[in-house]
């Protein structure tokens, strides 16, 4: 039955005509896809930028009498380019993909200076900076709370974003700890009490004040509460 004949029949029966959807333009479709993506990644402290790409000019999108359904096949994994599936959720409805570019700006921690393996992270080592996190495939660290008492498992260059993968275990020695200071020479070990002036994991280099002489020496962390003086 044609639409005209159906409308005439409904009118004769005194039944209200269904509301017909307005023509769906490419601009409407793209705008809906952009709003959907922006809502998915919106979060306090974030700034989201979404821009859809032009569709194939040969594509003609039929009207849809119900609201469109949108989804992201890959989940909410943040990447610079996404494909939004737009669907007319009715029997024999259509489905198409709208490509979009995504930017999600968030505050991340960036190294102020070259950081070496075993270093503990303190406030003066890093600063917060707004970065597009869709371009940080190895993740990022957003606050100092995430690195409390942690040491680095790998070096981080000045200006680089601090990543979760760069963080090792909890610091074996922390600044202010009383440690056992070992001085080894020709197989002879001399022990003294000291106070750590820095923090780090096993293998980290830090400075230690000798508790007896007051002299400050460079040392390597050997284990919990134990450091070895460097020659």
pTM beyond 0.75? no
Enclosing domain of residue 134: 106-170
Same domain, 81 and 113: no
Same domain, 85 and 71: yes
Encoding tokens for residue 14? 């005194």
Q: Residue 227: is it exposed, middle or buried by C-beta count within 10 angstroms (0-12/13-18/19+)?
A: buried
Count of Cβ atoms closer than 10 Å to residue 65 Cβ: 11
Encoding tokens for residue 231? 């020659």
Partners of residue 224 on adjacent β-strands: none
Which of 28-37, 165-174, 179-188 holds the top average pLDDT?
28-37
Q: How far apart are CA 168 and CA 150, in angstroms?
A: 6
Q: Is the pLDDT of residue 173 over 70?
A: yes
Same domain, 99 and 114: no
Q: How far apart are CA 121 and CA 111, in angstroms?
A: 9
Whether residue 213 is contained in a domain is answered as yes
Smallest CA-to-CA distance from 218 within 208, 210, 227 is with: 208
pLDDT in tens, 40-53: 999 888 999 999 99
Encoding tokens for residue 15? 């039944």
Same domain, 97 and 110: no
Q: How far is CA 210 from CA 98, 169, 177, 179, 186, in A?
A: 66, 27, 12, 9, 21
Whether residue 186 is contained in a domain is answered as yes
- pLDDT for 58 equals 80
Encoding tokens for residue 113? 């200076």
Question: What pLDDT band is residue 125 in, cutting at 50, 70 and 90?
Answer: very high
Same domain, 43 and 64: yes
Same domain, 88 and 42: yes
Same domain, 128 and 164: yes
pLDDT in tens, 131-170: 999 999 888 999 988 887 777 888 999 999 998 888 877 6
Specify the CATH number for the domain of residue 212. Answer: 2.30.30.760
Whether residue 121 is contained in a domain is answered as yes
Among 55, 80, 103, give the residue marking a domain's end.
103
Encoding tokens for residue 214? 């007051």
Q: Is the pLDDT of residue 26 over 90?
A: no
Same domain, 43 and 28: yes
Main-chain phi, psi angles of 4, to 5 degrees: -65, -45
Q: Are 80 and 37 in contact (CB under 8 A)?
A: no
Q: Are 227 and 204 in contact (CB under 8 A)?
A: no
40 by DSSP, 3-state: which? helix
Same domain, 24 and 81: yes
Whether residue 14 is contained in a domain is answered as no
Same domain, 150 and 188: no
Same domain, 98 and 52: yes
- pLDDT for 224 equals 81
Same domain, 127 and 95: no
Specify the CATH number for the domain of residue 164. Answer: 3.90.1210.10
Task: Please name the helix (run of DSSP H) or strand (run of DSSP E) that holds residue 5, with its range, or none.
Answer: helix 3-12
Whether residue 9 is contained in a domain is answered as no
Task: Please name the helix (run of DSSP H) or strand (run of DSSP E) that holds residue 138, with its range, or none.
Answer: none
């Amino acid at each position: 039955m044609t639409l005209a004949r159906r409308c005439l029949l409904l009118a004769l029966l005194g039944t209200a005509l269904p509301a017909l959807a307005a023509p769906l333009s490419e601009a409407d479709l793209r705008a809906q896809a952009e709003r959907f993506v922006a809502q998915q990644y919106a979060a306090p402290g974030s700034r989201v930028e979404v821009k859809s790409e032009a569709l194939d000019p040969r594509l003609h999108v039929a009207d849809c009498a119900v609201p469109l359904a949108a989804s992201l096949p890959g989940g909410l994994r943040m990447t610079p380019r996404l494909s939004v599936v737009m669907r007319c959720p009715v029997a024999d409805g259509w489905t198409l993909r709208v490509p979009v570019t995504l930017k999600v700006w968030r505050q991340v921690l960036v190294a102020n200076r070259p950081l070496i393996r075993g270093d503990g992270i303190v406030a003066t080592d890093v600063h917060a900076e707004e970065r597009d996190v869709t371009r940080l495939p190895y993740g990022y660290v957003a606050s100092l709370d995430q690195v409390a008492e942690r040491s680095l498992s790998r070096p981080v260059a000045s200006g680089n974003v601090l990543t979760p993968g760069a963080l090792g275990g909890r610091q074996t020695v922390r600044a202010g700890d009383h440690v056992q200071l070992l001085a080894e020479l020709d197989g002879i070990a001399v022990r003294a009490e000291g106070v750590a002036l820095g923090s780090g994991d096993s293998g980290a280099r830090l400075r230690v004040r000798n508790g007896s002489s007051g002299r400050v020496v460079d040392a390597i962390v050997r284990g919990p509460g134990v450091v070895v003086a460097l020659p």
